Structure 1
Amino acid sequence: METASDPPRAGDPAGSARASGRLDAETVADLFAEIGPEVYRFLLGMLRDSHQAQDALQATFAKAVERGHDARPDSLRGWLFRVAFREAIDQRRRGGRQRRLVRGLGWLRESADPGATRPTDPVVRAERIEAVRDALAGLPAAYLDVVNARIFEEKTFAQIAEERGLPLGTVLTRMRRALDRLSRRLRDEDEP
């Protein structure tokens, strides 16, 4: 039985990867060509969304580059499917959080949309809309850009990050901070 500490055997790409600490690009490309479509179909079956399946596939093969050298060559295929399974589960969790966020922010979209109709007193509604617009106007431009793209243009955080050339974490942080500021400002206006 071979372990990660065993010396690489001649002609064993995973063995040479163990020595270097990573799978080389050619090995990962070969793996992708060989079983990438099968892994994608597996992910698509789990996630039922082609974009999420593509994201999970990319994350799976990124992990193959980073950690694939730890897997035994004869079990690399199974290892990739286990990684893909975990990535799909993570995608589902993120999707659930995103749906809860969108549901929770429905009030913001309704309040900021001048065409929205709600069965409340028109004066109270007009004041609330004005308060939301003022709170939005008080956000830094970088935060407002992310809020507009996410809520009003209905883009994903990944799309926003890609379009603006920013790391995903930066986009997520800007959204969280913008929501914190909006929440505080609107709560302060509601208090007597």
Structure 2
Amino acid sequence: MSEKPPSPLATELVAALYVQHSEELRCFLVGLLRDSQLAADVLQATFVKMVQRGGETQEESRKAWLFRVAYHEAMAIRRRDAVGDRIVKRIAESDSNGRSMPDDLLVRHEAVERVRQALELLPPDQRQVVRMRIYDEKTFAVIADELNIPLGTALGRMRSALIKLRARLGNTFDDESHLNGT
């Protein structure tokens, strides 16, 4: 006999849990991520998971469950950022022919910082698509599905982001294939 899937938590209960624990979770996440915007994103993702899977939790362990989910979401972001940093460094260290440049570390570090700063200046919706495409190596179809947007919107956001990055970075890159992973 198969078990019946747990029923979702009532909206009112999730809202009450948010009121009760969100500030403490937010502080915890800011401490882990050192970025209030990322912390807000992870907090939202945590409560989305509570809505989706909260019926599987026991009443007495929901606070611990929320903190555990928040921690794992934050660590996933830190891992993705580390991957992104490696990609940005690799881009900054290679010229258009793919050969390693003999430039000193300071020049490379400056290029990495310019790319990172340019990414942070993008609007959040464009930055999210760029991160999902480059850091998470997701296809545009997967990105569109996960963000619940049309494929054309995901592609448009990436194109707009690339145009803005090219304008901000000037001649740092010869072509946008370095940025869009092709």
The normalised TM-score by structure 2 is 0.54
Match in the other structure for 1:154: 119
5+ long unaligned stretches in structure 1: 7-16, 112-117, 120-149, 184-192
Q: Determine if contact 2:9/2:51 at 8 Å carries over to the other structure.
A: yes
5+ long unaligned stretches in structure 2: 97-101, 104-114, 130-139, 145-153, 160-175
Match in the other structure for 1:11: none
For the pair shown, which has the larger CA radius of gyration, 1 or 2?
Answer: 1
Q: Determine if contact 2:18/2:47 at 8 Å carries over to the other structure.
A: yes
Partners of 2:181 and 2:66 lie apart in 1 by: 43
Match in the other structure for 2:66: 80
Note if 1:169 corresponds to 2:135: no
Letter in 1 for 2:9: L
Q: Determine if contact 2:9/2:55 at 8 Å carries over to the other structure.
A: yes
Partners of 1:104 and 1:181 lie apart in 2 by: 14
How many residues are treated as equivalent by the alignment? 127
Residues 85 and 180 (structure 1), Cα distance of their counterparts in 2 relative to 1, 3 Å cut = closer
Residue 74 of structure 1, CA deviation: 1.1
Match in the other structure for 1:50: 36
RMSD, aligned α-carbons? 4.1
Paired residue for 2:12, among 26, 32, 54? 26
Partners of 1:40 and 1:181 lie apart in 2 by: 32
The percentage of counterpart residues that share the same residue type is 32
Partners of 2:85 and 2:60 lie apart in 1 by: 40
Partners of 1:37 and 1:87 lie apart in 2 by: 17
Q: Determine if contact 2:25/2:67 at 8 Å carries over to the other structure.
A: yes
Partners of 1:167 and 1:182 lie apart in 2 by: 15
Partners of 2:123 and 2:142 lie apart in 1 by: 7
The normalised TM-score by structure 1 is 0.52
Note if 1:62 corresponds to 2:48: yes
Residues 162 and 168 (structure 1), Cα distance of their counterparts in 2 relative to 1, 3 Å cut = farther
Q: Secondary structure at the residue paired with 1:22? A: coil
Residues 95 and 24 (structure 1), Cα distance of their counterparts in 2 relative to 1, 3 Å cut = same
Q: Determine if contact 2:25/2:70 at 8 Å carries over to the other structure.
A: yes
